[in-house]
Amino acid sequence: MKSILSFTFSLLWGGVMAWGQTATPVAKDSTPVTKDTVVPKKDKYGLRVGVDLFKLSRSFYDSNYRGLELTGDFRLTRKHYLAVELGNEKKTVQEDHFNFTTNGSFIRVGFDYNSYENWTGMNNQVYTGLRYGFSTFSQTLNSYSIYYPNSTFPSPLITPNTEFSGLTAHWAEVVAGVKAELFSNFFMGFSFRLNYLISEKKPETFANLYIPGFNRTYEGRFGVGFNYTISYLVPLFKVTVKDAATLEKERKAKEAAKAKKMEAKLAREAKKKR
């Protein structure tokens, strides 16, 4: 009897131990495994519109000037931008012996090339560009006096108030400037311009000493310009920037395809000669 009880107890104890081993799960590491991923760089493409603060502010402190210039550019490639500027100017100039007023509109169209290498997420520009400019305007001779070198009394002031309308001018510009992103999609910039007058229509008895969009001519074909802008970029889409390895791979693939095409062409020509 005692041996039977011992056997039964041993059997039950072995079953409990076996159940415990199968019921207790093996602890596993619950820490998620993260993989290193590189987020591809993307450049913003869109329309950037702005205003020339120099002309706008000058209209408030200079009683002889009224002007407004709107600017815009559209990104074509990673480095190239299509650019346009348009506006209106009215300026009265007082010289030693005459006073005149120029009033008209202008447009400049061209492109910019950005030479600045941006870091990830940056959209700054250090650029050069070319423009074609066109202006249509009028000149009003407000007053003038005839200069007499040996006159004792001052020359009388003549006020004809003669307006010459339907005047035009064409010119080319070389542009250099900077645009810096202050915060998301807002930019501040400035540019310098060297202008060359291609052609102009001027009055028979008066010169175009000031042309809207071109500035002073100094009775010659060269002029200079400057603007100080604030602008906003309207993002339309983004383009992934390819890394150096991808660009090199694509270059080699293009060269291989070109070599294969040339090889096929030479084979066809050799076949024709047989």
Q: Please say if the pLDDT value at position 19 is more than 50.
A: no
Q: Which residues pair with 88 in a beta bridge?
A: 68, 105
Q: Which tokens sit at 210? A: 């000031």
Tokens 């009033």 belong to residue: 103
DSSP state of 185: T
For residue 95, give the nearest of 147, 132, 43, 30 by alpha carbon.
Answer: 147
> What contacts 18, CB < 8 A, 6 or more positions away?
none
The tens digit of pLDDT for each residue in 21-49 reads 544 454 555 555 555 555 667 788 999 99
Q: Please say if the pLDDT value at position 193 is more than 50.
A: yes
Lowest mean pLDDT among 1-10, 139-148, 199-208: 1-10
What pTM was computed for the model? 0.73
Lowest mean pLDDT among 50-59, 81-90, 203-212: 203-212
Q: Which tokens sit at 16? A: 């409990």
d(CA 65, CA 52): 14
Q: Are 161 and 141 in contact (CB under 8 A)?
A: yes
Confidence category of residue 14, pLDDT binned at 50, 70, 90: low
Q: Are 142 and 161 in contact (CB under 8 A)?
A: yes
The phi-psi region of residue 178 (left if phi > 0; otherwise alpha if psi is between -120 and 50; otherwise beta) is beta
pLDDT of residue 264: 84
d(CA 5, CA 76): 93
Higher pLDDT, 118 or 20: 118
